[in-house]
Amino acid sequence: MTGVADAPGDAAGGLFGGMYAHGRVGAEVGDAAWLRALLDAEAALARACARAGVIDATHAEAIAACCVPERFDAGGIGQAAAASGNPVVPLVRELTGAVGGDAARHVHYGATSQDIMDTAAVLVSRRASAVIRADADAVADGLAALADRHRSTLMPGRTLLQQALPTTFGLVAAGWLQTIGTASRRVNAPALAQLGGAAGTLASLGDAGPCVTAAFADELGLAEPVLPWHTDRGPIAELAGALARMCGAVRKIAGDIVLLAQTEVGEVVEAGGAGVGGSSTLPHKRNPVAAVSARACAGQAAGLAATLYAAQAQEHQRAAGAWQSEWLPMAQLLRVTGSAVAWLRTSVERLRVDPERMRQNLDLTGGLPLAERVTTDLTPDLGRLPAHDLVKAACAEAVESGRDLADVLTQRLDGRRTAARVAALLDPAGYLGSADLFIDRAIAAHRSRVADENEQLAEETEHG
């Protein structure tokens, strides 16, 4: 019988993999990704020691040549980790055996298990974060296009789930764009290498310790820390917060899409292919399954982030359990965040907007959402409170009698405003405030973020 993966850090797949390991992030946080990162750290350590003159360069290259993930069994290493409390110890033992000869004496030289594990965690989170940001950028591109295309598409603005003032779908999409864009900018994994030795002093490397640390960080494209951060888990907490914020942005946008796709609202639909959004019972259903799945993935982030926040309290120079408690929640938080963003990307790409239904829904209340505008127009003549009371009474009469609000207002105003003027006041197209300006600002901010990211990418490519 085929076994079931028993750890969230395992490769994406299984019964729930289709939903909770959506997109490309799964490949960056599974066992293979962690094993690769651990071996990258060991290879970089050997080369750093050689650069600092601590070990022979030929020995360093012999070690690095054996740091190939395919040579090792992640499952076996995981089982052996039970004896030491972390997978680095059995990995180092196997790596030492694979290297052999004189070079084997220098495997893991000067480091402690947490140095390799923390550095691997940084590498895993950086690689996964890059995937998350790429999908978030694609979401933002799609939303920018929607915002521009629908800047004049009228729809009801809704507060407390009730119609409020009119807005445009373009402004709604612009709000989503700004939400996902600002969240994406903060998804930057900690870029700090970790190398402190047994108790954070690097005593085993003597005077060469700082040189080895600098070379170690350089080999991996990471920053050299001011000092080892074994029990300062701020970098991990910051990553957790950024991922939780991204999931909050996804839940907001996906939640709006779900609400707008309700049968009774029907203002958007996810136009998937055959079988997409179907039901096991109801053949007519067209569920917004991508938005629903995005919400399901993103909804797990708060609890996972809380676990990582709680792990910040770590004893003395090495934690007894708190550090170890980070690994699976970190991998799972990266996975569900990446899956949530990938699902949202799918939803936005499938999204079809129905401007006619939006206008029909806006007209359902017969002009009631524009009552504020009438009050504002009457205030110079009547005063703020009398104008408010008059319009409120007219709204109540229109609702109770079923008459058109424009007719009721015209009658109650008794010549103060013409029927044409009342009709103009109740025209939603004329009461959109700064919606167009806000759309332009959101699109401009998006373009600025894209330009900044392209510039940063060019600099990183130039420097190796």
Q: Which of 84, 105, 149, 279 is catalytic?
A: 279
pLDDT at 19 over 90: no
**Claim to verify: residue 55 and residue 92 sit in the same structural domain:** yes
Residues 6 or more apart in contact with residue 26 via CB below 8 angstroms: 11, 12, 13, 17, 335, 338, 339
**Claim to verify: residue 273 and residue 156 sit in the same structural domain:** yes
> Of the ranges 86-95, 187-196, 392-401, which one carries the lowest mean pLDDT score?
187-196
Mean pLDDT of 293-315: 95
**Claim to verify: residue 29 and residue 91 sit in the same structural domain:** yes
**Claim to verify: residue 266 and residue 388 sit in the same structural domain:** no
Which CATH number does the domain housing residue 263 bear? 1.20.200.10
Last residue of a domain, one of 359, 384, 417: 359
**Claim to verify: residue 272 and residue 182 sit in the same structural domain:** yes
- The 10s digit of each residue's pLDDT in 209-245 is 999 999 999 999 999 999 999 999 999 999 999 999 9
* Dihedral (CA of 366, 369, 375, 377) sign: negative
- The 10s digit of each residue's pLDDT in 183-207 is 999 998 779 999 999 999 999 999 9
Residue 341, domain member (yes or no):
yes
**Claim to verify: residue 75 and residue 97 sit in the same structural domain:** yes
pLDDT mean across residues, the chain: 91
Residue 331, domain member (yes or no):
yes
**Claim to verify: residue 101 and residue 249 sit in the same structural domain:** yes
- The 10s digit of each residue's pLDDT in 343-362 is 999 999 999 999 999 999 99
Per-residue pLDDT, 463: 56
**Claim to verify: residue 228 and residue 376 sit in the same structural domain:** no
Domain count, the chain: 2
Residue 9, domain member (yes or no):
no
Mean pLDDT of 5-10: 42
User: What is the extent of the structural domain holding 403?
Assistant: 367-425
User: Residues for the chain: how many in total?
Assistant: 464
Mean pLDDT of 395-421: 93
**Claim to verify: residue 34 and residue 171 sit in the same structural domain:** yes
**Claim to verify: residue 143 and residue 44 sit in the same structural domain:** yes
Per-residue pLDDT, 17: 82
CA distance 257 to 239: 27
Q: Is 318 a catalytic residue?
A: yes
Residue 450, domain member (yes or no):
no
Q: Which of 185, 318, 359, 412 is catalytic?
A: 318
**Claim to verify: residue 295 and residue 315 sit in the same structural domain:** yes
Residue 283, domain member (yes or no):
yes
Q: What is the pTM of this model?
A: 0.90
Q: Is 417 a catalytic residue?
A: no
**Claim to verify: residue 200 and residue 75 sit in the same structural domain:** yes
- The 10s digit of each residue's pLDDT in 41-51 is 999 999 999 99
